[in-house]
Structure 1
């Protein structure tokens, strides 16, 4: 894969084989979405990305160089939002950011109650796979505050194709997090470096159990840079509901996992 930005990497995956699964999601976390399994091909992921990018530009006025705060967990929905921000040419900032023009979050708040940020606009993201209107998490409000965009209700109305007004470049800032800032090209280079360091083969199928969003995004890009795919897992924090190693091994076998990326001690390694 020769892509120089995350957006170009996704485009290469679509061109290579648009129907092949590139992201498989398992939700093992406690709560109403526990047990979900979602599979996205490159084409489907590109469609979600295009719709989110169109929402950012058409509804919220986001432009190349703007900052968009992603206040979301490690989740399949976070993936297409990050890709959408990068396709616009904006900067993904993880967590609250005073410079953010937009906050994309699973826990929206009234503007007067959002301490520490000047984000003028919010997008409320419902995590359940089949949500068609705002569906709160255990920390989210029952009803959306006035002026907050309901992603579940609005996203489907946006076009499946996005063409930026101002094409992003590899040198554009792309990811801002606690460890610093990456340009778009540097992020892809770092992803390739991770794949090389871990010895992931061409077409790797990578189990990703990391939960820091910056780690997850880098691991997904790394898997895709090999022409491969990823199985992203949201683990349970409750020891009583963590799948047994035998069950996890059966999952990795069923998903044909070849490699793993996650915190030490997570049962995601392969022989």
Structure 2
């Protein structure tokens, strides 16, 4: 394949290149019940999460090119697979204040899910959650922790996006599918990139790292003493920003 890859191509290339290598490592340092979590996903496991979420979007919500999928989530490992799932069906990912107005909302807030006028997915952030503790407050929403596992491990899109279709809408700016994957040359080949900050930037930086056959270490929480952790993780690029 020549030219700029689409997000789904980036994921497929990682699986083909080395399915077992870690591609997404998550550390949660945010005070609360998930503080201390570390999650590591290989390309194969990441693709499995993406396939299940994409099947849910396509089969249950008829999502495809032209559909807007709002991500009302922090920069989190779950946000990354939901974004990749939305891009796999050809939808537009919307982040920030405009996410609430999307056709479908993916959120960790029961109140936001209950108040959304369209389809909604209620996400539990803890890694081992089997259902959302407050799912009863949003009875019309899909409880991701309970229902995502019922969807298939492989995904075939019914329609593919065009390069000019909007892939990401954030901060009043639209980024087309043909422009959303932008490798950063100075990161080199197969970079191991530390990320933190706003969700739109994290999504684009993760795509850039993966497009260079690299991987991501995503962190959440206000800590400055991470040099030893990053050294043990083999981080080659620290590209964190404040949210």
- TM-score (norm: length of structure 2): 0.93
In 2, Cα distance between equivalents of 1:165 and 1:144: 33
For 1:125 and 1:110, the matched residues in 2 are separated by 11
Aligned CA distance change for structure 1 residues 235 and 99 (closer, same or farther; 3 Å):
closer
Deviation string, structure 1 residues 222-267 (Cα, Å, up to 9, x no partner): 111211101000013xxxxx36x2xx11101110111111227x9x
Query: Take 1:99 and 1:61, find their aligned partners in 2: how far apart are those partners?
Result: 17
**Which whole-Å CA distance do the structure 1 matches of 2:211 and 2:23 have between them?**
11
Which residue matches 1:269? none
Please name the residue that 1:134 is paired with: 132
Pick from 192, 208, 232: which aligns with 1:205? 192
1:148 aligned residue: 141
Instruction: Confirm or deny that 1:162 pairs with 2:155.
Output: yes
Contact 1:23–1:40 (8 Å) recurs in 2: yes
Name the counterpart of 1:239. Answer: none
Counterparts in 2 of 1:215 and 1:97: CA distance versus 1, 3 Å: closer
CA contact (8 A) 1:27 1:33 kept: yes
Partners of 2:199 and 2:112 in 1: how far apart? 24
Structure showing greater radius of gyration is: 1
CA contact under 8 A between 1:4 and 1:170: conserved in structure 2? no
Question: Does the CA contact (< 8 Å) of 1:134 and 1:144 recur in 2?
Answer: no
Structure 1 position 59 matched with structure 2 position 60:
yes
Instruction: Name the residue aligned to 2:95.
Output: 94
Residue in 2 that maps onto 1:254: 232
> CA–CA distance in 1 between the matches of 2:142 and 2:52?
14
In the alignment, which residue of structure 2 is the partner of 1:24?
A: 25
Pairwise CA RMSD? 2.0
**What does residue 204 of structure 2 align with?**
218
Deviation at 1:142, TM superposition (A): 6.5
Cα distance in 2 for residues equivalent to 1:263 and 1:60: 34
CA distance in 2: counterparts of 1:180 and 1:263, whole angstroms:
19
**What's the TM-score, normalizing by structure 1?**
0.83
Question: SS of 1:103's equivalent?
Answer: strand
Q: Aligned with 1:80: secondary structure?
A: helix
Aligned residues: 241
CA distance in 2 between counterparts of 1:64 and 1:99 reads: 17
What's the secondary structure of 2:158's corresponding residue? coil
CA–CA distance in structure 1, aligned partners of residues 155 and 33 of structure 2? 32
Is the contact between residue 98 and residue 119 of structure 1 (CA under 8 Å) also seen in structure 2?
no
Q: Per the alignment, do residues 98 and 74 of structure 1 end up closer, same or farther by CA in structure 2, a change over 3 Å counting?
A: closer
Q: Which residue among 227, 231, 234 is the counterpart of 2:217?
A: 231
List runs of 5+ in structure 2 lacking aligned partners. none
The one-character-per-residue Cα deviations of 1:95-136 (angstroms, maximum 9, x if unpaired) are 34465211100002277x73xxx641110000000111114x
Secondary structure at the aligned position of 2:230 is classed as helix
Task: State the distance in 2 between where 1:21 and 1:146 align.
Answer: 36
* Structure 1 stretches lacking a partner, 5+ long: 136-140, 237-241, 267-271
CA contact (8 A) 1:108 1:123 kept: no
